[in-house]
Structure 1
């Protein structure tokens, strides 16, 4: 029996705890010097049979920073909190408390944050295990909103994408970001600090709207960069298509598909905030959310337009390559056509018939001007063919297109 269990242990792999997100999503590079291509298409998934509420922290996730901005109509303060428990006194105040957790690199701190806000383990799992599909969920006296935020890269080729989660309460708003270094909330913080606009005269629901609106508006600079890239690719495809052009078109199409996957469910999530009858969102804020919904529709329309343009660029690239191939084949055909009669003449006079045996055996070989006459005939034939092709316009390059 002991040997049987030993053999069974060799066949069945040892059961391990639930793997981390790095084991799920980040394949190890074969060589350390090869940069890893970012993936724009992954959603987080649980290992079959994993315990609900299990948190999966990526190894390279930055440690969380907790920033508290507490404000009302008269004043505003910004505090950096070292411990999550220091948030508790601010949750029951009449003022609005914005708790911004930047980074997901410490499971203990994230669980303590969940305890302070009374988050359900499933809610905390959705917040921490990224990326999730954008959505809206009601949880008693809280509303969970998961969004995708994009920011343009420094070289204006591509974008950074990260998940931003919102937990909306009556007097507070908890936001959880993946990265502490970049977001699109700078203008919102400035409005709170300088008391510009209506943000300090409203509650936490208006703050949530302002941040979601900033996320949606953050898509426009990214799409502007893609518009410029597509215009440049159009010029390259028509004038000088190369393999690098094809690779760039393919890359743009993939990234635009990722943007579509980010904005499409986000539009539905904003629509859910508008239509759901939740007391945490006032009717006035729902009107503002309608404007945010319109912006999401505009972003989606731009993404779809650019995707169609990128798809048409692929067709134009194939047509351009085909046209250039046709030009090459046309040139080779002209050369072959010119040399066919010349080859025939040379082949005829390459036959070794003895002229002394019969007077019909190539008598022109004994002519005094036979060789120059042969050259004159061949040159006249070649010249006539070239003139004929020129009159037909076959020497013009039909693959070149003049751009306005």
Structure 2
């Protein structure tokens, strides 16, 4: 465990910002790099594990569509070789190995490189992010993920069921399914944040509800919203490059699929803007509720103080040490004093109630 923590800390101190012949994975995942190759055509589909030491472009079979799934980026040397085997620069490998890299869609003559980040909620309702890269080169698609999470399980099931005749199409439709999986996760995340914000709003609108930990909950939802916005806004801005692509990867017959993905991204942006407005309103409402609770407390304290003002006056008068005080010699002076104080208290209380001061 200590060795893993030390390795993770060491990677966080690394930086791929400088030009170099060799780059490293600078994320926090410890997943050992594994590669699965799925090859399919109209009639068949088969999957197998391959070694990181293989020459990857030689594994490509032109009779099939080839989908390499690379899970885990710790083997930076293997990642770099994959990129170079398919005709890209080692600077592209740097982008894949850097989770903090900005979202981008880079179009080459016959290749396409997409760098993005996805997010999703795990079983503990904690938001997780995943740095994902997709390389398209002819009839080959390569996906890079930081962890071994089954990010593209839905895409594999679509291949098995031949959804939308995906096996008859080229890499463009496979890419669309991959992007749809990523975008669908972001849609679910932003929808969940919106629902949780609405729950907080319902709690805050009823002042009688417990307001405990509401401030920290709002701050947590704000943090999750910022993650979603950080991942979706740049992707929306870059996505237009795919719609204008002229390298033949995205054919005109599957363009409606990409238009639908663009619509989903627009929905994410609109929902995130809605979340931003709700968060701003919740902060104001939370502060207002705190002020109302403080005012209520001060009102109670004021009422108690007001009730005791005449009583304090009477006690002060009878507590003076004058030698001649006729009340001291009265047989029923003590009872009369208590009666006067009770009557004064009741009259004061009835007066405040009539004025609707509480």
Residue in 2 that maps onto 1:240: 210
**Unaligned ranges ≥5, structure 2:** 1-6
Whether the aligned pair in 2 keeps the contact of 1:53 and 1:122 (CA below 8 Å) is no
Matches within 5 A, 1:5-404: 22-23=9-10, 25=12, 46-47=16-17, 49-51=18-20, 54-58=23-27, 60-83=29-52, 85=54, 87-91=56-60, 93-156=62-125, 158-183=126-151, 185-237=152-204, 238=206, 239-242=209-212, 244-355=213-324, 362-395=325-358
Whether the aligned pair in 1 keeps the contact of 2:189 and 2:228 (CA below 8 Å) is no
Q: TM-score, normalised by structure 2?
A: 0.90
Whether the aligned pair in 2 keeps the contact of 1:263 and 1:296 (CA below 8 Å) is yes
Matched residue SS, 2:37 = strand
Task: Please provide the CA RMSD for this pair.
Answer: 2.3
Whether the aligned pair in 2 keeps the contact of 1:134 and 1:147 (CA below 8 Å) is yes
Matched residue SS, 2:67 = strand
The structure richer in helix per residue is 2
What is the deviation of 1:58? 4.6
Q: d(CA) in 2 for partners of 1:52 and 1:83?
A: 20
What is the deviation of 1:65? 1.2
Judging changes above 3 Å, is the alpha-carbon distance between structure 1 residues 52 and 245 closer, same or farther for their aligned structure 2 residues?
A: farther
Whether the aligned pair in 2 keeps the contact of 1:67 and 1:101 (CA below 8 Å) is yes
What is the deviation of 1:122? 0.9
What is the deviation of 1:372? 2.2
Output one character per residue of 1:304-333: Cα deviation in whole Å (capped at 9) or x when no partner.
Answer: 212221222222111111111111110110
Judging changes above 3 Å, is the alpha-carbon distance between structure 1 residues 307 and 329 closer, same or farther for their aligned structure 2 residues?
A: same
4+ residue segments displaced more than 6 Å: none
Output one character per residue of 1:64-103: Cα deviation in whole Å (capped at 9) or x when no partner.
Answer: 1111111112221112112453532453604311111111
Whether the aligned pair in 1 keeps the contact of 2:117 and 2:129 (CA below 8 Å) is yes
**Unaligned ranges ≥5, structure 1:** 1-19, 27-43, 356-361, 396-404
What is the deviation of 1:345? 1.0
Whether the aligned pair in 2 keeps the contact of 1:94 and 1:171 (CA below 8 Å) is no
Q: d(CA) in 1 for partners of 2:84 and 2:195?
A: 47
Whether the aligned pair in 1 keeps the contact of 2:105 and 2:241 (CA below 8 Å) is yes
Matched residue SS, 2:66 = strand
Q: d(CA) in 1 for partners of 2:120 and 2:27?
A: 21
Matched residue SS, 2:164 = coil
Q: d(CA) in 1 for partners of 2:95 and 2:243?
A: 22
What is the deviation of 1:60? 4.7
Whether the aligned pair in 2 keeps the contact of 1:253 and 1:311 (CA below 8 Å) is no
Moved more, 268-277 or 291-300: 268-277
Q: d(CA) in 2 for partners of 1:23 and 1:55?
A: 11
Residue in 1 that maps onto 2:3: none
Matched residue SS, 1:137 = strand
Matched residue SS, 1:197 = helix
Judging changes above 3 Å, is the alpha-carbon distance between structure 1 residues 269 and 92 closer, same or farther for their aligned structure 2 residues?
A: farther
Judging changes above 3 Å, is the alpha-carbon distance between structure 1 residues 250 and 52 closer, same or farther for their aligned structure 2 residues?
A: farther
